[in-house]
């Protein structure tokens, strides 16, 4: 199974969209799986189910930071390069899916009980979200 398929399987087996991404790619870049799970916990549903940035996108931003980022605050070039990679990723994801926001992508407002119920009724987590995880993973594969 390749990394893209592992990310989708992680999601289908119960991880949120951010965790599904960061647990596959984080360990390749020095982040242990348990820490990746902990960090990604709050990013599902567009950050704590608020419908904002898709968790698969958030996880990908974290992975790109691990790959291209710097811990030296004086390295402006590394910071700029990281931002360029993230902008490229986000633009590609948005071009493919029309938005970066969870609530736009799934057509439900996850911040309300009614919206969460509607998302379950529409099977968004089985029919839509695996595709967003797959797209994020495919794009990361090309960028790492």
**pLDDT confidence of residue 68:** 95
Residue ranges making up the domain that contains 30: 3-143
Measure the CA–CA gap between 8 and 31, rounded to whole angstroms.
19
**pLDDT confidence of residue 78:** 86
- List pLDDT tens digits, range 74-121: 888 989 999 999 999 999 999 999 999 999 999 999 999 999 999 999
Separation in Å, CA 64 to CA 54, 109, 125, 132: 15, 28, 25, 17
**pLDDT exceeds 90 at position 72:** no
Secondary structure of residue 53 in the 3-state scheme:
strand
Which pLDDT band holds residue 21 (cuts at 50, 70, 90)? very high
**pLDDT exceeds 90 at position 128:** yes
Asked if residues 60 and 38 have their Cβ atoms less than 8 Å apart, the reply is no
- Tell me the average pLDDT across 4-9: 98
**pLDDT confidence of residue 76:** 87
- Tell me the average pLDDT across 50-55: 96
- Tell me the average pLDDT across 64-79: 91
**pLDDT confidence of residue 142:** 96
Specify the number of domains making up the chain.
1
What is the pLDDT of the chain when averaged over all its residues? Answer: 96
Asked if residues 22 and 36 have their Cβ atoms less than 8 Å apart, the reply is yes
**pLDDT exceeds 90 at position 40:** yes
Measure the CA–CA gap between 37 and 23, rounded to whole angstroms.
6
The DSSP symbol for 72 reads -
Alpha carbon 80 to its chain's center: 21
- Tell me the average pLDDT across 43-69: 97
The DSSP symbol for 50 reads S
């Amino acid at each position: 199974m390749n990394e893209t398929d592992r990310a989708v399987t992680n999601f289908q087996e119960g991880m949120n969209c951010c965790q599904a991404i960061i647990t596959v790619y984080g360990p390749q870049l020095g982040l242990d799986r348990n820490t990746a799970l902990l960090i990604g916990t709050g990013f599902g549903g567009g950050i704590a189910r608020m419908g904002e940035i898709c968790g698969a996108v958030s996880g990908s931003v974290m992975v790109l930071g691990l790959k291209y980022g710097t811990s030296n605050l004086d390295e402006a070039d590394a910071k700029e390069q990281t931002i360029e990679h993230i902008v490229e990723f986000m633009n590609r994801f948005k071009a493919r899916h029309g938005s970066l926001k969870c609530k736009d992508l799934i057509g439900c407002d996850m911040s309300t009980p009614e919206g969460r119920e509607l998302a379950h009724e529409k099977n968004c987590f089985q029919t839509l979200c695996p595709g967003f995880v797959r797209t994020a993973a495919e794009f990361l594969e090309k960028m790492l």
